Amino acid sequence: MDVGPESSTLVRDFAVRWQEQQIHQCASSREAIAKRVEENILPVLGDKRIEQVSRQDVQEAEILGHETLAARTVKRTNTYLSGIMKPTVLDGLIKATPCVGVRLPRAEHERVRPLSTETVQAIADVDRSPYIPIVVFCAATGMRGGEMRGLTWDRVDLVRGSVTVDRQLISRDSRTPAWGPAKSASSVRTVNIGAATVEMLKNLPQAGPLVFHHAGRSLTRHAAADPRRAARLKLPGIGDGWHQVPHHHTCSSSQGACG
């Protein structure tokens, strides 16, 4: 590899600096970046000096990741690694990034299959977890996980039957909820909810501003996914991703059957 001035800086050191500079990313994106860096980049390349990293090293790292990761995740991981290496070129530590020309696994486009009304009801029936209302609510409203977990009662109008979506939960600390802007400008919206959903909300235990919570504390991503994990054990074929649940709302709304 063509190199500039000799450097003793390790990849992991540059990775830390690069992550600190991602202030334009939302909290959930920074969390996703940190996970891929910690689990898939640093174990393979972290202890190498910047000028030691070759294209073959990157290629082998991507192959290693492909054994356990989906093709799209491998591609994102390579994007993060490219982001880490780019400043080293700008700083003159190397003359060219080793991330160019790396062969990535082909990501097949998989169409999201929205859950049917019967499947959503079946998920609610197989497990009487206190988090089951989350599945029903997200299916009825199309709200994303962060939007749902950050929903507060001042955004809910039970009289008119509507929910205002204008922010999402971004904090990791369940004791101290923190909110950030919606994913995009188009994500800010008002969602109408049906009588059954209104009635369900009225029956939820209230403890503080959050609509969905655990003993007053905000829900973590892991806790919010509990009903899906429980349902998958009893209902094979319902899919792996949480994103299928909100898509039920989009599908049913287009047919005039919203929540």
Instruction: Say yes or no to pLDDT of 164 above 90.
Output: yes
Give the pLDDT band (50/70/90) at residue 202.
very high
Judge whether 194 and 201 are in contact, CB under 8 Å: no
How far is the C-alpha of 208 from the C-alpha of 170, rounded, in Å? 18
* Mean local confidence (pLDDT), 240-247: 50
pLDDT for the residue numbered 3: 44
pLDDT for the residue numbered 128: 55
What would the DSSP string read from start to end of 77-143? HHHHHHHHHHHHHHTTSBSS-TTTT------------PPPHHHHHHHHHH---TTHHHHHHHHHH--
Q: Give, as one character, the DSSP assignment of residue 169.
A: E
Q: List all residues 6 or more positions away from 185 whose beta carbon is below 8 Å from its beta carbon.
A: none
pLDDT for the residue numbered 4: 43
For residue 164, give both structure tokens: 């205002």
How far is the C-alpha of 152 from the C-alpha of 149, rounded, in Å? 9
pTM over 0.85: no
Q: Give the other-Cβ count within 10 Å of 143's Cβ.
A: 24
SS3 199: helix
Instruction: Say yes or no to pLDDT of 161 above 90.
Output: yes
Judge whether 1 and 98 are in contact, CB under 8 Å: yes
How far is the C-alpha of 245 from the C-alpha of 8, rounded, in Å? 48
For residue 5, give both structure tokens: 């001035």
Pairing of strands 189-192, 179-181: unpaired
Looking at 6-15, 50-59, 92-101, which range is the least confident one? 6-15
Domain 11-90 classified CATH 1.10.150?
Answer: yes
Give the pLDDT band (50/70/90) at residue 224.
low
Q: Give the Å distances, CA to CA, from 70 to 97, 110, 124, 256.
A: 24, 12, 29, 35
pLDDT for the residue numbered 47: 93
Give me the chain's average pLDDT, please: 77
> What number does CATH give the domain 117-254?
1.10.443.10
* Mean local confidence (pLDDT), 235-258: 48
Residue ranges of the chain that CATH labels 1.10.150: 11-90
Q: Please list the helix, strand and coil fractions of the chain in percent, rounded to the nearest 5, in that order.
A: 50, 10, 40
CA 207: distance to chain centroid?
Answer: 26
Residue ranges of the chain that CATH labels 1.10.443.10: 117-254
pLDDT for the residue numbered 151: 94
Judge whether 114 and 244 are in contact, CB under 8 Å: yes
How far is the C-alpha of 203 from the C-alpha of 158, rounded, in Å? 12
pLDDT tens per residue, range 30-88: 888 888 899 889 998 999 999 999 999 988 887 777 666 777 788 888 899 999 999 88
Judge whether 110 and 20 are in contact, CB under 8 Å: no
More confident residue, 226 or 251: 226
Looking at 17-21, 118-122, 137-141, 242-246, which range is the least confident one? 242-246
How far is the C-alpha of 151 from the C-alpha of 218, rounded, in Å? 10
pLDDT tens per residue, range 180-198: 888 788 889 999 988 988 9
pLDDT for the residue numbered 259: 43
pLDDT over 90 percentage in the chain: 22
Looking at 103-107, 120-124, 165-169, 206-210, which range is the least confident one? 120-124
**Would you tell me the crossing angle of helices 226-234 and 117-126 to the nearest 10 degrees?**
100
